Amino acid sequence: MKNNKITICDATVHPGEIANLALPLPELYSCAPLFMPIKVIHGENKGPCLVVFSVLKGVELNGLEIANRIIEYLDPSRLSGTIIAIPVMNVYGLTHYPSNLPTGNDLANCFPGEENGTYGERIAYLVTQEILKKADYCIELETGDINHNILPQVYCNFDNTKTKELAKAFQSPVVTNVALEEHKLRQTAEELQIPLLVYQGGEAMRFDENAITLGVDGIKNVMRAIDMLRREPIQEVKPIFSREEEWILANKGGILRPTVSLGQTIEEGEIIGTISDPFGTDETEYIQSPHKGIVVGVNTSPLIYEGLRIFKTASFLDYDKAEAAIEEWDKKQSDSFIG
Amino acid sequence: MTNNQFTPKGFLVWLICAFFFLYEFLLRTVVGSFQQQIMHDLNLSSFHFSLISVALFLIVYGLMQIPAGILFNHFGLKKTLVVASVLCSLSSVGFASATHYLVAAGCRMLMGFGAAFGFIGLLISVYNWMPHRYVAIFIGLSQFIGTMGPMGAAGPLEVMSHSAGISWRLIFYCLGGIGLILSCLIMLFVDNNKQKAGKYIILQRPEKTAVYIWKLFARNQLWYIALFSATIYFTVEYLSENEGRSFLLLKGISPASASYMITIAWLGYAIGNPLAGFFSDMYQRRKIVMNLAASMGLVSVLMILYMNNETLLYISFFLLGFSSSGQSIGFATIAEQCKKPFISVGLGLNNALITTLAAINAPVIGLVLDTIKEGNTPSLSEYLTVFNILIAVAATSLLVSLFFIKETFCKSAVEYTYLNLSKSSSKEVVSS
């Protein structure tokens, strides 16, 4: 069936059109105007509206690249429905690194926003009103923080069956329950009853080709699963579901030498790395895992301070099955993630 | 950076540019109204008269289209138009004073040089000052003015020439004076619409024009659109300026009816321009209007060639003129394929190709006709054989429009569309 036109602010986008839109952002003290680039690919045929966005903190470059590659791939004549892609949601954060917002808070926690609120709340209000309210599905593209290399995984709300099915379709090796309570954007999506997937892979401010390719393929597969693209979804990977993830923190500052790698199962009490004195004076500390889990994130910085996050572990019901699934998935990748 | 709004200043700028376009169009066509007087006073043969009346003027006019775009881009609307208008004015006075063929020819070339800036300048004023969503309507209206002005002025000038005994020299002195008044008006009121952010005027960084123009000309879409514009417009101009009347006479149409049919074609063109622009802007589509115009053009050419019924021929000529207005959509579309500072160059390319196709194709058709008729008066069947070229040209415009030109949806294909938050869609929903 033929698609209808959609309107974002004062711009009407017609079926079959690829529109490059620039959303004016709240003013800064300089006379430099700031715009949020929005790409709308409006399919000729009717279908759902999928919103894909990235760079909420200003540093998630893998997500930016994934969004751009998806935009390049799509042809509106072969698309059922609409893609609204926002490669950079936090333009201020991207251009003012390491600052996030002029007010210092996270853009994610400014949602659903307020028309006359703070800088971030005003952006959030525009996005909620003009973009999110038009969405049937939503995909957030994330990376780990600076120096945090994350095993590609999808977060979703396990209580929502539809979202869980979409998470499977993404074909990432691990699916984890999303943390809603500390993320108001995700809460807003829940309130608007928009199934939301969060894809996380690689580390901030770095391009990770494997994580990017997996993200692009994952979005394409989700689009197939919701009938936006004609092909049947690929179902090669059986993801494993993790209820909980936890960061292990450093008890001492110094040089970190991990002895485990991403995807590896670690036992409670197992030595997973060492922290030594950079000046060779103090004794080397052996880091013991406080619980059983699979390593899904590693701090890649050799220099760490006390209290810094160093290993992220995910807990599973069946570790043998989980580790086997991750290994099997890793073999199918062009470059190994788990080393 | 933001979309333009209707302003009295913008309307005034557009109006002055439209008057300059009308003025240069008049300079282009007015010589023909005084053919006998000029040939007598300057002791010219028919060939030499044709050179100063059309050929020399149009050669310079055509060659200057792309450079005109570049000069507008470099010097802005005011400076370029003032110089163009002064050149037109001085060359009119020079032409009026000419006693020798070479001086007259030189003045006509200078006139062609100045006139080359008229249409491009008018289009730039549309892009500079008019709201983007009404661009095609204003381009159509601009074309309408260009067509109707000389048509309206031709009659009184003919009367002056033949009945009142007014000399062509006096007319050209007057035209020189009008040119000077226009130069003053341009100097006083015409300006580029400065892009603003709040109360700041956004300055343009110096760009490496040559590099960008090279990149611009490497874009296939520009050439497709220019080819479409040239092919959709060619037939109406060819039939009215060249063999249209002779062909119709061979079909048994009276000389008066043949002349009317040509006039009807231009009437169709004049009506079609703003109308095509209006529908294109209203439905935010370019390609469909181009497809319809090209289809209508092909059908009307076939009807003109193979129908003998007078009423149907009138309709066909009207449709042919109407379909030619697709070229104004070509101007709107080509601008949407260029970055803002280089819109003038794109418009220049479009106009250059329109002029070049007419300049090349008309003599080619004439040459083929001369070869076929072997010194005799051409027969109807010989005309029909040669006019297959017209069918090919019309078919080219349809093929290019259907398969090569991309829909722009009335938005820039190479720049962002800046959203206006005061017209938020969510607010519209709430208020409705």
Q: Where are the domains of chain A?
A: 6-240, 243-331
Greater model confidence, A280 or B253: B253
Q: Could you say which DSSP state residue A2 is in?
A: B
- B234 close to B361: Cβ distance less than 8 angstroms: yes
ipTM of the complex: 0.72
Asked if B409's CB is within 8 angstroms of A13's CB, the reply is yes
pLDDT band at A239 (very low <50, low <70, confident <90, very high): confident
Parallel, antiparallel or unpaired: strands A240-242 and A174-177: parallel
CA A305 to chain centre: 26
User: Nearest CA to A157 among A186, A129, A134?
Assistant: A186
CB atoms within 10 A of CB B39: 16
* pLDDT for residue B144: 85
Query: What distance in Å separates the CA atoms of residue B223 and residue B396, rounded to the nearest whole number?
Result: 13
pLDDT above 50 (res A12): yes
Rg value, chain A, Cα:
21
Q: Is B245 in the A-facing interface, judged by CB distances under 8 Å?
A: no
User: Nearest CA to B158 among B19, B21, B29, B270?
Assistant: B29
* pLDDT for residue B427: 41
Torsion angles phi and psi, residue B361, rounded to 5:
-70, -40
* pLDDT for residue B429: 36
Instruction: State how far the alpha carbon of B192 is from the alpha carbons of A129, A309, B72, in Å.
Output: 36, 57, 10
Torsion angles phi and psi, residue B150, rounded to 5:
-65, -35
Q: Render pLDDT for A164-185 as a digit per residue (tens, 0 to 9).
A: 999 999 998 889 988 777 788 9
Concatenated DSSP letters of B267-330: HHHHHHHHHHHHHHHHHT-SHHHHHHHHHHHHHHHHHHHH---HHHHHHHHHHHHHHHTHHHHH
Q: Which helix (H) or strand (E) holds A285?
A: strand A285-288
Q: Indicate the residue type of A32.
A: A
* DSSP SS3 for A20: strand
Closest chain A residue to the Cα of B420, Cα to Cα? A10
pLDDT above 80 (res A131): yes
Query: What distance in Å separates the CA atoms of residue A242 and residue A236, rounded to the nearest whole number?
Result: 19
Q: Classify burial at A2, counting beta carbons within 10 Å of its beta carbon; exposed 0-12, middle 13-18, buried 19 or more.
A: exposed
Asked if B198's CB is within 8 angstroms of A19's CB, the reply is no
Q: Could you say which DSSP state residue A315 is in?
A: E
Place of tokens 């010589």: B31
* DSSP SS3 for A311: strand
* pLDDT for residue B377: 80
Tokens linked to A299: 């701090």
User: Nearest CA to A239 among A319, A175, A166, A324?
Assistant: A175
Q: Which residues of A245-284 are buried (b: 16+ CB within 10 A; e: fewer)?
A: beebebebbbbbebebebbbbbeeeeebbebbeeeeeeee
Q: For residue A10, which residues of chain B lie inside 8 Å, CB to CB?
A: 419-420, 422-425
| Nearest Cβ partner for B284 among A14, A23, A130 | A14
Asked if B198's CB is within 8 angstroms of A7's CB, the reply is no
- B92 close to B27: Cβ distance less than 8 angstroms: yes
* DSSP SS3 for B154: helix
* pLDDT for residue B432: 27
CB atoms within 10 A of CB B47: 8
Query: What distance in Å separates the CA atoms of residue B222 and residue A90, rounded to the nearest whole number?
Result: 35
Q: Render pLDDT for A169-228 as a digit per residue (tens, 0 to 9).
A: 999 888 998 877 778 899 999 999 999 999 999 999 999 998 999 999 999 999 999 999
Parallel, antiparallel or unpaired: strands A17-24 and A35-42: antiparallel
* pLDDT for residue B210: 78
Asked if A19's CB is within 8 angstroms of B419's CB, the reply is no
Low-confidence ranges of chain B (pLDDT < 70): 1-3, 149-164, 194-207, 423-432
Interface test mutation site (partner A, options B132, B409, B422, B432, max chain A beta carbons within 10 A): B409
Q: Indicate the residue type of B126.
A: V
Architecture of domain A243-331: Beta Barrel (2.40)
Interface test mutation site (partner B, options A9, A35, A71, max chain B beta carbons within 10 A): A9
Q: For residue B407, which residues of chain A lie inside 8 Å, CB to CB?
A: 16-17
Asked if B284's CB is within 8 angstroms of A9's CB, the reply is no
Closest chain A residue to the Cα of B411, Cα to Cα? A19
Least confident range of A136-150, A231-245, B391-405: A231-245
CA A332 to chain centre: 22
Of how many residues is chain B composed? 432
Tokens linked to B31: 């010589």
Closest chain A residue to the Cα of B423, Cα to Cα? A10
Tokens linked to B121: 């300048």
Asked if A22's CB is within 8 angstroms of B419's CB, the reply is yes
* DSSP SS3 for A264: coil
pLDDT band at A29 (very low <50, low <70, confident <90, very high): confident
Tokens linked to A77: 């004549």
- B304 close to B355: Cβ distance less than 8 angstroms: no
Asked if B285's CB is within 8 angstroms of A10's CB, the reply is no
pLDDT above 90 (res A259): yes
Homologous superfamily of domain range A6-240: Zn peptidases (3.40.630.10)
Tokens linked to A309: 């996050």
Place of tokens 């609307």: B77
Q: Render pLDDT for B400-420 as a digit per residue (tens, 0 to 9).
A: 999 999 999 999 998 888 888
* pLDDT for residue B425: 55
Q: For residue A9, which residues of chain B lie inside 8 Å, CB to CB?
A: 419-421, 423-425
Q: Could you say which DSSP state residue A304 is in?
A: E
Distance from the A12 Cα atom to the nearest Cα atom in chain B, whole angstroms: 9
Asked if A14's CB is within 8 angstroms of B426's CB, the reply is no
- B122 close to B17: Cβ distance less than 8 angstroms: yes
Place of tokens 């101007």: B331
Q: Could you say which DSSP state residue A256 is in?
A: E
* pLDDT for residue B154: 58
Asked if B419's CB is within 8 angstroms of A9's CB, the reply is yes
- B250 close to B112: Cβ distance less than 8 angstroms: no
Torsion angles phi and psi, residue A177, rounded to 5:
-65, 130
Q: Render pLDDT for A296-313 as a digit per residue (tens, 0 to 9).
A: 999 999 999 999 999 999
- B271 close to B280: Cβ distance less than 8 angstroms: no
Query: What distance in Å separates the CA atoms of residue B33 and residue B30, rounded to the nearest whole number?
Result: 5
Query: What distance in Å separates the CA atoms of residue A27 and residue A100, rounded to the nearest whole number?
Result: 16
Distance from the B350 Cα atom to the nearest Cα atom in chain A, whole angstroms: 24
Q: Is B407 in the A-facing interface, judged by CB distances under 8 Å?
A: yes
Query: What distance in Å separates the CA atoms of residue B81 and residue B107, rounded to the nearest whole number?
Result: 18
Distance from the B292 Cα atom to the nearest Cα atom in chain A, whole angstroms: 19
Asked if A10's CB is within 8 angstroms of B423's CB, the reply is yes
Least confident range of A71-75, A102-106, B227-231, B420-424: B420-424
Instruction: State how far the alpha carbon of B314 is from the alpha carbons of A237, B259, B325, in Å.
Output: 70, 11, 17
pLDDT above 80 (res A337): no
The full set of domains in chain B, from first to last, is 1-187 (1.20.1250.20), 212-416 (1.20.1250.20)
Q: Is B5 in the A-facing interface, judged by CB distances under 8 Å?
A: no
CA A177 to chain centre: 13
* pLDDT for residue A282: 76
Residues 80-139 of chain B whose Cβ lies under 8 A from any Cβ of chain A: none
Query: What distance in Å separates the CA atoms of residue A15 and residue A42, rounded to the nearest whole number?
Result: 5
Closest chain B residue to the Cα of A125, Cα to Cα? B426
